[in-house]
Amino acid sequence: MRHKPILLFLKTMVKIFNFLPSEMSHYLALEGLKLLTHIGFRVDNDNSKTSVYCGISFKNNLGLAAGLDKNGDYIDALAALGFGFLELGTVTPKAQKGNPKPRLFRIRSKKALVNSMGFNNKGVDYLVEKVKKRKSITPLGISIGKNFNTPIDLALQDYLICLDKVYSLADYIAINISSPNTKNLRDLQSDDYIESLLSSIKNRQTKLSSAQGYTPILIKISPDMSSDELKTLSESVLANKLDGIICSNTTTNHNHPSKKGGLSGGPLFELSTSTLLALRGFVGPDLPIIASGGVMDLDTFKHKINMGADAVQIYTGFIYEGPSLVDKIINSASEN
């Protein structure tokens, strides 16, 4: 099926969906995409330049960030858009409803979102079954977290439960310790927890790899860390030989009337990029970094690469621009 006319149609539908309640519009858009894929729609990208990071071969370096397909319900539909990789989740050991609604807000004038979702998902076992049934071969990252009612001192156990269950199915695993929407979660980035957490996760990775092969593990960080906190975390990542870092999650530095949640989209670009630049300075030139935060067009995508990212993820830009943004980035970037 020719994809250009469909992309124009989808761009129009995205504009309409943006005036519906946020969570409803996301659901309708994904269900519509799933239907189109079922009848043959996919984005052609024959000019992609394959890259290898963390031992994974990506057909291009544009990925979808975690949060859109939390449960693996739309893997094949999203893969058909031409992404180089998809990140599912964040998933927790047990299913949970997340924070009370309303919890997702658009700021259309700034092309931004504020979300306080709280890891709403159907649980790791549900996602595992969905991943087993997928047909696409697009590399998958799986983001894992802790349940809301797990005390912070016991958070490691939740990560290990999820790690064990997704290890053989993921191309990489993202350790999400940076969401602002689970109470105290960001404490895991601090000097009090980070070394113990990462060393325990690395030990489990080593044990699992002996029987199941090697699956890279990356850690997803906050853009709100101080320079000293970022330096400490970077040193722990290097000391424990983690495979990479995802930079970054949403920021709590906003004045939205909800007075909660994390801000993403255009206003996050400068902060997340300055964090990326500092991070690259701390970890050196070789550790893979996936950049996320405020990528809304081809120029912001390229800037992330120029500032030290190996690959880039989009989320809010995809919400506002739809599949045409993916097509524009992967086909324009591959021509250069």
Calculate mean pLDDT across residues 64-70. 98
Instruction: Give residues with Cβ within 8 angstroms of 174, minimum separation 6.
Output: 66, 87, 89, 90, 141, 142, 143, 144, 217, 218, 219, 220, 246
Q: Which one-letter amino acid corresponds to residue 231?
A: K
Among 3.10.620.30, 3.90.1150.10, 3.20.20.70, 3.30.160.150, what is the CATH number of 42-333?
A: 3.20.20.70
Q: Which of 31-45, 132-146, 231-245, 270-284 has the lowest mean pLDDT?
A: 31-45
CA dihedral 228, 229, 235, 236 (to 10 degrees): 160
Total residue count of the chain as it appears in this document: 336
Q: Indicate the DSSP class of residue 185.
A: G
What is d(CA 229, CA 297) in angstroms, rounded to the nearest whole number? 30
Residue 40 burial (C-beta neighbours within 10 Å; 0-12, 13-18, 19+): exposed
pTM: 0.96
| pLDDT tens digits along 198-247 | 999 999 999 999 999 999 999 999 999 999 999 999 999 999 999 999 99
Helix/strand/coil for 277: helix
Distance from CA of residue 100 to its chain's centroid?
Answer: 22
User: Is residue 157 scored above 60 in pLDDT?
Assistant: yes
What is d(CA 262, CA 125) in angstroms, rounded to the nearest whole number? 27
For the chain, the domains span 42-333
Q: Which residues are catalytic?
A: 179
* Residue 301 pLDDT class (50, 70, 90 cuts): very high
| pLDDT tens digits along 82-139 | 999 999 999 999 999 999 999 999 999 999 999 999 999 999 999 999 999 999 999 9
Would you state the pLDDT for residue 134?
Answer: 98
- Strands 244-247 and 217-221 turn out to be parallel
33: its two tokens = 């995409």
